[in-house]
Structure 1
Amino acid sequence: MFPLRDENPTLRTPLATIALIALNALVWAMLQGLGSPLPLLQSLCDWAMIPGELLGYLREGDRIPLGPTVECVLEDRVPWLTPFASMFMHGSWLHILTNLWFLWIFGDNVEDAMGPLRFLGFYLLCGLAAAAAQVLSDPASSVPMVGASGAIGGVMGAYARLYPHARVENLVPLGFYLTVVAVPAYFMLGYWFLLQILEGLIAPAGQGGVAFWAHAGGFLAGVLLVRPFHRPDFLAERLNQTPRVRSRYRF
């Protein structure tokens, strides 16, 4: 399932969500050269998060793989900054476009229940939690990790808790055909979360690819952190003015 839109209006302009989308796009353009090979590889070498480096398994001067025939030498890096930097970087056009689309679909409504400053703090903490989950899944890994997926997973977890019954329209492939199906948010997001867990269990450890445990860790962080970060008055205002949206949780 791929989300197309949600039936969940907002009451305020999602300034923080727009700013995060713009920042990710700016990093992709200015630092990563819109995916051009040399700037992209250099950005990974300089700023990607590497679990083994953070936990001391790798040190300056060690070589890490960036592809089948490409290596990077660890030098002049600031390891503790990489979990922050990496959540604004991406590995391909498909990677960034998919992530930012998910952020746009779900971020505006979560921000609507928090306000822009709280939402920014929430987003960063979910991204760090996602990075921690990926590190714990393979502490000695030398595979670089980049992407906003973990932080956006947190946004999706918060959305599932805030608006479980909001309808989300999804593009669903049925053999050679595509159809659009509207389902409750808890179903679509729950399916997405379970898929990350299953893929994380199946995927070989220590190899490149999708950071499934980061996605799952970010999602769980969002489910937990939405309670202290949401504003009850904002949520009450939303539920009063948009009667089709219902929350089944009491915050």
Structure 2
Amino acid sequence: MMPLYDDNSDRQRTPYVTWTLIAINLFVFFVLQKSGENDAFTNAWSTVPKEILTGQDLATTVNLGTNQLTGEKLQFSLEPTPGSVYLTLLTSMFMHGSLMHLLGNMLFLYIFGDNVEDKLGHVKYIVFYLLTGIIASLCHVFLAGIRQTDLLIPCLGASGAISAVMAGYVITDPNRRVVVLVLRFLTEVPAWVMIGVWFLFQLINGIGLFGNDTESGGVAYAAHIGGFLAGAVLVYVMMPVIERR
């Protein structure tokens, strides 16, 4: 179920923050990450669970095993992080692993971010976005620590913060109509249906990690779930002080 657009006819504020966040993500990926080719930059500024858990910057070579077909060793290098490793909890939110990763996240942010920004106001919205994104990354880090897996695998992407935005959206506008693509068909559903199906998928896959010692397919489900729950809580905290129009 892929969202395409929603009804913004009642939006009052121009979503400057959402547009700026999208622009920053695009700039980081295409310019700083060089469309994903600049591994040194990416591996220096991504969140590495073991670095966050220990507070130590780990500049080392990580071995991922051997390619069964070619016999080639699969490895990459963690690069030194300028400054504190804890800065990566913030910087990793603006980087992506591939073009599809970037475009998917930016589509969701474009559709859902403007409405949450409209409800919270520009300043509260940016605080909401950054804080929940950091909490989402910490959820991934702590799960990696509990499972003792993927501790040296860099984590990056805006998904955790965007999950929080989706939680804020469904709480403030549960019945707003969203046009989605299901298989080859376009249909219109309430926000709670679309986002509910999305969250259920994250929850099922996230719970499955506890009984599976293999890779999660590169998807940080703990960050998605943690970001969503953090967003649901924080939007309630911020709603009473929303500036009424």
Question: What TM-score bracket applies, with the shorter chain setting the length?
Answer: 0.7 to 0.9
Give the aligned CA root-mean-square deviation in angstroms. Answer: 2.1
Say whether 1:4 aligns with 2:4. Answer: yes
Deviations for 1:41-89, whole angstroms, at most 9, x for unmatched residues? 2222211101111112975343335897231145345311111000000
Structure 1 match to 2:58: 60
Structure 1 match to 2:208: 202
Counterpart of 1:88, as a letter, is: F
Say whether 1:94 aligns with 2:92. Answer: no
Alignment of 1:54-203 (within 5 A): 54-56=52-54, 60-64=58-62, 69-77=74-82, 78-139=84-145, 140=148, 141-173=151-183, 178-203=184-209
Say whether 1:221 aligns with 2:207. Answer: no
Distance 1:31 1:179, change over 3 A: same
Counterpart of 2:2, as a letter, is: F
**Structure 2 unaligned residues grouped into runs of 5+:** 66-72
- 2:18/2:109 contact within 8 Å kept: yes
Distance 1:100 1:142, change over 3 A: same
Counterpart of 1:224, as a letter, is: V
Identity %: 40
CA apart distance, 1:117? 1.1
The farther-off stretch of 178-187 and 206-215 is: 206-215
Counterpart of 2:204, as a letter, is: L
- 1:168/1:183 contact within 8 Å kept: yes
Per the normalisation by structure 2, the TM-score is 0.86
Distance 1:76 1:129, change over 3 A: closer
Distance 1:65 1:206, change over 3 A: farther
Structure 2 CA distance for aligned equivalents of residues 65 and 105 of structure 1:
39
CA apart distance, 1:182? 1.1
Structure 2 CA distance for aligned equivalents of residues 76 and 43 of structure 1:
9
Per the normalisation by structure 1, the TM-score is 0.84
Structure 2 match to 1:245: none
- 2:95/2:158 contact within 8 Å kept: yes
Structure 1 match to 2:68: none
Name the SS of the counterpart of 1:113 in structure 2.
helix
- 1:142/1:206 contact within 8 Å kept: no
Structure 2 CA distance for aligned equivalents of residues 220 and 65 of structure 1:
34
Structure 2 CA distance for aligned equivalents of residues 87 and 65 of structure 1:
25
CA apart distance, 1:205? 4.7
**Structure 1 unaligned residues grouped into runs of 5+:** 238-251
Corresponding pairs, count: 228
Structure 2 match to 1:249: none
Structure 2 CA distance for aligned equivalents of residues 21 and 108 of structure 1:
11
